Protein backbone atom coordinates (compact mmCIF):
# COMPACT_ATOMS: atom_id res chain seq x y z
CA UNK A 1 0.00 0.00 0.00
CA UNK A 2 1.21 3.47 -0.85
CA UNK A 3 0.53 6.05 1.86
CA UNK A 4 -0.02 9.62 0.70
CA UNK A 5 1.84 12.18 2.81
CA UNK A 6 0.84 15.83 2.53
CA UNK A 7 3.67 18.33 2.84
CA UNK A 8 2.80 21.90 3.84
CA UNK A 9 5.08 24.90 3.97
CA UNK A 10 4.39 27.35 6.74
CA UNK A 11 6.26 30.28 8.17
CA UNK A 12 9.75 29.02 8.86
CA UNK A 13 9.25 25.27 8.52
CA UNK A 14 7.47 22.37 6.83
CA UNK A 15 4.86 19.98 8.17
CA UNK A 16 3.98 16.47 6.98
CA UNK A 17 0.92 14.35 7.72
CA UNK A 18 -1.04 11.44 6.22
CA UNK A 19 -4.80 12.10 6.12
CA UNK A 20 -5.61 8.46 5.29
CA UNK A 21 -3.70 7.02 8.24
CA UNK A 22 -5.93 5.86 11.09
CA UNK A 23 -3.46 7.22 13.65
CA UNK A 24 -2.48 10.88 13.63
CA UNK A 25 1.14 11.65 12.89
CA UNK A 26 2.33 15.18 12.26
CA UNK A 27 6.01 15.80 11.72
CA UNK A 28 7.86 19.05 11.15
CA UNK A 29 11.26 20.08 9.91
CA UNK A 30 13.25 23.10 8.82
CA UNK A 31 13.39 21.71 5.27
CA UNK A 32 11.00 19.57 3.25
CA UNK A 33 13.50 16.67 3.40
CA UNK A 34 13.76 16.93 7.18
CA UNK A 35 9.97 16.97 7.59
CA UNK A 36 9.62 13.89 5.37
CA UNK A 37 12.40 12.06 7.23
CA UNK A 38 10.85 12.97 10.59
CA UNK A 39 7.50 11.66 9.34
CA UNK A 40 9.11 8.37 8.25
CA UNK A 41 10.80 8.01 11.63
CA UNK A 42 7.53 8.70 13.49
CA UNK A 43 5.67 6.23 11.27
CA UNK A 44 8.22 3.49 11.93
CA UNK A 45 8.07 4.21 15.67
CA UNK A 46 4.26 4.00 15.57
CA UNK A 47 4.36 0.69 13.70
CA UNK A 48 6.91 -0.74 16.16
CA UNK A 49 4.68 0.29 19.06
CA UNK A 50 1.57 -1.21 17.46
CA UNK A 51 3.41 -4.51 16.84
CA UNK A 52 4.58 -4.59 20.47
CA UNK A 53 0.96 -4.10 21.56
CA UNK A 54 -0.26 -6.88 19.26
CA UNK A 55 -2.17 -4.45 17.06
CA UNK A 56 -2.53 -4.59 13.29
CA UNK A 57 -0.07 -2.57 11.26
CA UNK A 58 -0.95 -1.29 7.78
CA UNK A 59 1.11 -2.81 4.99
CA UNK A 60 2.71 0.45 3.87
CA UNK A 61 5.29 -0.20 1.16
CA UNK A 62 5.87 3.35 -0.09
CA UNK A 63 5.17 6.99 0.66
CA UNK A 64 3.78 9.33 -1.96
CA UNK A 65 4.64 12.88 -0.95
CA UNK A 66 2.31 15.55 -2.30
CA UNK A 67 2.58 19.27 -1.81
CA UNK A 68 -0.47 20.71 -0.02
CA UNK A 69 -1.04 23.17 -2.88
CA UNK A 70 -1.56 20.18 -5.21
CA UNK A 71 -4.23 18.54 -3.05
CA UNK A 72 -7.86 19.26 -3.72
CA UNK A 73 -9.72 20.26 -0.59
CA UNK A 74 -13.20 21.51 0.07
CA UNK A 75 -11.81 25.05 0.19
CA UNK A 76 -10.12 24.75 -3.21
CA UNK A 77 -13.28 23.29 -4.74
CA UNK A 78 -15.42 26.09 -3.33
CA UNK A 79 -12.95 28.72 -4.53
CA UNK A 80 -12.93 27.19 -8.03
CA UNK A 81 -16.73 27.14 -8.14
CA UNK A 82 -17.04 30.84 -7.18
Give me the CATH number covering residue 45: 3.30.160
pTM assigned to the model: 0.81
Give the chain's domain count: 1
In the sheet where 26-29 sits, what is the strand order? 26-29, 13-17, 2-10, 62-67
pLDDT at position 69, please? 74
Beta-carbon contacts of residue 56 (< 8 Å; ≥ 6 apart): 50
Tens of pLDDT, residues 16-28: 999 989 898 999 9
- The residue segments making up the domain with residue 61 are 2-81
List beta partners, residue 5.
65
CA distance 45 to 65: 19
Tens of pLDDT, residues 50-77: 999 999 999 999 999 998 876 555 555 6
Tens of pLDDT, residues 28-56: 999 999 999 999 999 999 999 999 999 99
Q: How many Cβ atoms from other residues are within 10 Å of residue 19's Cβ?
A: 11
Round to the nearest angstrom and report the end-to-end CA distance of the chain: 36
Mean pLDDT of the chain, nearest integer: 88
Amino acid sequence: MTLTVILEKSQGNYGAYAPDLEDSIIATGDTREEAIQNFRDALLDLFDYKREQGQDVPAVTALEVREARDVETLETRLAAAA
